[in-house]
Structure 1
Amino acid sequence: MSIHVEQAIIHAISQNTEGQLSCRLRPQPLLNTQAVETMLDELHQTYTSKAGKGFGHFGIAGDDGEANPAFERALTDYRSGELGFVEFSGLAGKLLQQELAKYDFSQGGFLLLSCYTYMTSDYLFVSLLNAKSSMTVLDDMELSQNTHLDLNNVQLAARIDLTEWQADKGSRKYISFVRGRAGRKVADFFLDFMGCVEGLNTKVQNKSLLTAVEDFVASSELTKDERQQTRERVFDYCSERCDSGADIEIKDLADELAEQGMESFYDFAQGGDYALEDEFPADKPTLRQLKKFSGTGGGVTLSFDGTHLGERVIYDPISDTIMIKGVPANLKDQLDRRLKGE
């Protein structure tokens, strides 16, 4: 299912030879052409599939850091009809320019704002895109250098669920954002210009879900295979929700497990000390622990499917050792060649 684009616009933030930033505002929205639809649909899919996103909400009085309310006010005026989309986006461009001016590491970029509808929700997508040079061959076989938007490497982006924001003022997760490679700090300035503060910690929620699932199967009378099947069913459900951009719903997950003969997971999860929200976004890297064991340290990296524990992979916590039966063929070949060479 593709998105339905309502409005989209791009503004340019650039740096002059003296290091001063300026914002060149586009006076009208982008024409709703097939190229624009295709670009935004691609960005939507790319953004939705990104793992490890953070979640937050607009700051209010008393929040740490005294979040700037200017972006939220402008967005409120736009949604109420007091501001047009172009005027709202222009205010956003100026706010980002002012925020970037506080730092000496930015050379600007292209600020993209787009309002679109996907399924039953309205969204505002905000991203600072970089330009990338490339070479192309012309009809006369001459080379030409072109500049294009780097859509495959979006590092500064946020998406506001406008429907959730306006329907549930108490929500702490209607704004999602891409975490930088070095963690949350990389994107601080981008969130600050929107007045966004981090709210729900999805990694903590997903880890709590893992603990609840492990405790639940441990308290059951299932066989080893049935326990692993339950873990994989939980992983499949959460993955499906993540891929579609939907939240994990504990009640919905409990109903899924009930169909497999696993009753009362909802009561179990809510009755323990897991501090699980009823709904929260999925974090695939964390949830993958339901199916696989992996770890790195001291120059050793090890990963194996959970079904092998106790069979092909024997762990002895007392001696702090792991024994592997049936070494993978490519690894065995490397080891044999090394032993032969020595």
Structure 2
Amino acid sequence: MSIHVEQAIIHEISQDGEGQLACRLRPQPLLNGQAVEVMLEELHQTYSSKAGKGFGYFGVPEDDGDANPAFEEALTNYRSNEMGFVEFSSAAVKLLQQELAKYDFSQGGFLLLSCYTSITSDYLFVAMLNAKSSMTVLDDMELTQNNHLDLSNIQLAARIDLTEWQADETSRKYISFIRGRAGRKVADFFLDFMGCVEGVNLKAQNKSLMVAVEDFVASGELTKDERQQCRDKVYDYCTNQFDSGEDVQMKDLADELADDGMDSFYDFATGGEYELEEEFPADKSTLRQLKKFSGTGGGVTLSFDSGHLGERVIYDPISDTIMIKGVPANLKDQLDRRLKGGN
């Protein structure tokens, strides 16, 4: 196990026949320690591997200047031992019920709250889980239908780094959350019930880092191989940070590049117009552009390793054309067969 679960509980928000939401509260934490550990380990891994998460903090939104501090206050009381975990979780699910009551799209679900430790940080995991129907074969080979929690398809979840929250008052990224499929707006109510405001723009920070790297390699007297080596080094470092659940540290990244003789990257990237934070979460989908070029449009999809540009792949911006030398074997086979067919 990569985590140690301290407390976990599940409450239910359900809809009655008249469409009114009601809470069914569990009076004590979950007791089956092994089942809880297995469930939270799976959720921890699933959540950590989710790409494109948003990051925020407890605060006041800039658009309307109003925020509900009740969740933060309850969490503060729990962490200071003025409130028990069950009492805190009950207050949280009631806040969620009140928020959900403002909308007409929810039929409720199971609210899971768990405090656990991973590596050196304490976390509070908050997730809305749904039940999923499945079929089971009994011992007498008879079929029966039952419901189970859908742990692999979490869409409404947030994780609070309690250690960072209590250690750094200036942090704007101690709360991470899953973005909805159509953008953050899908999960607004889930963040609102916690009083969470988006802080660090993950995509913007990683895009700025990528631009800084490209400007850096273009400004120096580096060979083509050295430029690509720099891009690969940045991508590998950021990927390792993402996989280990750690933030990109600009000082550490600069030190990685300094080992290869590129010792001015830190001053270049942080002293210019890139507006990079000292540390921020990595976004592999954005930084992948350091390794690959890809694009889709007009029925054409093209992707290739950036190292091929200028060699196997020749781009002419004036004529708006790309020439590929050495067509991939499987594509060549498809094209040859189509040509033999007379088209």
In which range does the TM-score fall when normalised by the shorter chain? over 0.9
Alpha-carbon offset, residue 45 of structure 1: 1.2
User: Aligned AA for 2:191?
Assistant: L
Alignment check: 8 A CA contact 1:241 1:282 kept: yes
Q: What is the RMSD computed on CA atoms of the aligned residues?
A: 1.2
Where do residues 12-161 of structure 1 align in structure 2 (5 Å cutoff)? 12-31=12-31, 33-60=33-60, 64=64, 66-161=66-161
Deviation at 1:69, TM superposition (A): 0.7
| Structure 1 equivalent of residue 218 of structure 2 | 218
Distance 1:32 1:236 in 2: 40
Partner SS for 2:301? strand
Matched pairs, number:
342
SS in 2 for 1:222: coil
Distance 1:255 1:56 in 2: 28
Give 2:82's aligned amino acid. Answer: E
AA at the equivalent of 2:68: N
For residue 60 of structure 1, report the CA deviation from its aligned partner.
Answer: 3.4
For 2:84, the aligned partner's letter is G
CA distance in 2, matches of 1:32, 1:272: 54
Cα distance change on mapping 1:62 and 1:273 into 2, 3 Å: closer
Q: What is the aligned partner in structure 2 of residue 270 from structure 1?
A: 270
Q: 1:67 to 1:50 in 2, by over 3 A?
A: same
Aligned to 1:258: 258
| Identity in percent | 82
The superposition leaves residues 127-149 of structure 1 with CA deviations (integer Å, 9 ceiling, x where unpaired) of 00111111111110000111111
Say which SS state the counterpart of residue 207 (structure 1) adopts: helix
Report the CA distance between 1:330 and its aligned residue.
1.5
Q: Is the 8 A contact 1:5 1:32 kept in 2?
A: no
Moved over 4 A (4+): none
Q: Deviations over 1:106-146 (max 9, x none)?
A: 11111000001111111100000111111111110000111
Q: In 2, distance between residues paired with 1:146 and 1:65?
A: 46
> Structure 1, residues 205-250: CA drift from partner, whole Å, max 9, x if none?
0000001111111122221112111111110100000011110000
Give the gaps of 5 or more residues in structure 1: none
Letter matched to residue 185 of structure 1: K
Residue identity opposite 2:196 in structure 1:
C
Q: 1:197: how far off? A: 0.8
2:221 corresponds to which letter in structure 1?
A: E
Question: Residue by residue, what CA displacement relative to the aligned partner does 1:175-213 show, whole Å, maximum 9, x if unpaired?
Answer: 000001111101001001101111110100000000111
Q: CA deviation at 1:304?
A: 0.5
Alpha-carbon shift at residue 18 of structure 1 (Å)? 1.5
| TM-score, reference length from structure 1 | 0.98
Of 6-15 and 220-229, deviating more is: 220-229
Instruction: Tell me the secondary structure at the aligned position of residue 176 of structure 2.
Output: strand
Match of 1:301 in 2: 301
Question: 1:297: how far off?
Answer: 1.2
2:164 maps to 1:164: yes
How many Å separate the matches in 2 of 1:314 and 1:254? Answer: 32
Cα deviation code 1:158-189 (max 9, x no counterpart):
00011111111111111000001111101001
Q: CA deviation at 1:268?
A: 0.9
Query: Shift of residue 64 of structure 1?
Result: 3.4
CA–CA separation in structure 2 for the residues paired with 1:105 and 1:60: 25
